[in-house]
Amino acid sequence: MLFVERIFNMLKMGGTAAVIVPSGVMQNSGKAFEALRKLIIDKAELKAVIAVPSGVFKPYAG
């Protein structure tokens, strides 16, 4: 989660980033996850949230 915040903070005004995270980041109810979602919703111009099927990045990632 820290890397998502770091990416957000490093973006220049008007910059764009695409980030792939496990689905648990968006679904988990922990305080840190809630803070990250709040940061994304309040301060970013979120374009889309896309779910991909399990194993889509195999054999490169589990």
d(CA 27, CA 12): 28
Of the candidates 41, 61, 43, the one whose C-alpha atom is nearest the C-alpha of residue 52 is 61
Nearest residue to 50 via CA among 28, 18, 15: 18
What per-residue confidence (pLDDT) applies to 13? 87
Residues of the chain with pLDDT below 70 are 62
What pLDDT sits at residue 62?
66
- pLDDT > 70 fraction of the chain, expressed in percent and rounded: 98
CA distance 44 to 46: 6
Sign of CA dihedral 34, 16, 6, 61: positive
| Whole-number pLDDT of residue 48 | 85
Domain ranges of the chain: 1-62
